[in-house]
Amino acid sequence: MSTRRPRIGVTLDVDPEKRRYEVQQAYVEAVLAAGGLPLLLPHDPSATAAYLALLDGLLVTGGAFDVPPDLYGEARRAGCGPEKPERTRFEKELLEAALASSVPVLGICGGMQLLNVVRGGTLFQDLAADAAIVGHEQPPPKDRPTHAVSVAPGSLLFRLLGPGEPEHRVNSTHHQAVRDPGIGVLVSGRAPDGVIEAIELPDLPFAVGVQWHPEAVLRHDPRHALLFAGLVGAARSGRR
């Protein structure tokens, strides 16, 4: 039996002005702690097939930018935030290819939103403007859990975070959220105000998205590390 660690691709943020890639250390540490080998993925859509040939799993990270509304058939409105088109274009192509190949995927924050969009779903461009919902952009410290998420019994997320624990405390750092779930998208977690906080694709072995940042909040509640353990475990099983 191979002892090679499952290779988990980690998407990068970018600072266009400084022309440099960036990644939160917590993402990498969470993958390593779960037994995976993180591989950082520079933005190059032409390298999608080459990346996937190396990867056993994919982590689509979050960032301080929004998914362009034209990707879900809407015109941009005033509440929509800054965009990073090159990053989004790369992540979209990579995510679509990973799903088509049943490569295990975990999408975090903006990664969850993009997961919904590639399945034909839509987003609230701004929760306050579109739904009169506030309170999902907490002040620092950003790793502190500030609200509950109810997890759907029977869902993969429920099994990952621990049966018998239908509610979890999470951090909240977003102004956008899933509005209409895409094709085949199961809503597996909601905040008390009804905002969708987790989705998954039951037609695939492992495709989960969470709106919070488990890599940060796990220092307060280690159960959130189970999301990364689930991704790495699925990657290991898929490789076999």
> What is the CATH number for 92?
3.40.50.880
Provide the residue-wise pLDDT of the chain in tens; the chain has 240 residues: 458 999 999 999 999 899 999 999 999 999 999 999 999 999 999 999 999 999 999 999 999 999 999 999 999 999 999 999 999 999 999 999 999 999 999 999 999 999 999 999 999 999 999 999 999 999 999 999 999 999 999 999 999 998 667 899 999 999 999 999 999 999 999 999 999 999 999 999 999 999 999 999 999 999 999 999 999 999 999 875
**CB count in 10 Å sphere of residue 166:** 15
Q: Is residue 177 part of a domain?
A: yes
232 CA to centre of own chain: 15
- pTM tops 0.75: yes
Max distance between CA atoms of the chain, in angstroms, equals 55
Q: Is residue 153 part of a domain?
A: yes
Token couple for 1: 């039996």
Indicate if 86 belongs to the active site: no
Q: Which residue of the set 91, 197, 200, 215 is catalytic?
A: 215
Q: State which residues form the domain around 78.
A: 7-239
Q: Which residue of the set 109, 136, 197, 200 is catalytic?
A: 109
Indicate if 197 belongs to the active site: no
Count, residues in the chain: 240
Indicate if 147 belongs to the active site: no
Q: Is residue 94 part of a domain?
A: yes
Q: Is residue 1 part of a domain?
A: no
For Cα atoms 41, 49, 70, give the angle at the middle one, nearest 5 degrees: 75
Q: Is residue 2 part of a domain?
A: no
Q: Is residue 91 part of a domain?
A: yes
Q: Is residue 150 part of a domain?
A: yes
- Give the separation between CA 134 and CA 125, rounded to whole angstroms: 13
Structural domains of the chain, count: 1
Handedness of CA 189, 66, 122, 133 (dihedral sign): positive
- Give the separation between CA 202 and CA 204, rounded to whole angstroms: 5
CA atoms within 13 A on the CB side of 49: 1
| Residue 34 Cα distances to 89, 149, 150, angstroms | 28, 23, 24
Q: Which residue of the set 43, 175, 213, 224 is catalytic?
A: 213
Q: Is residue 96 part of a domain?
A: yes
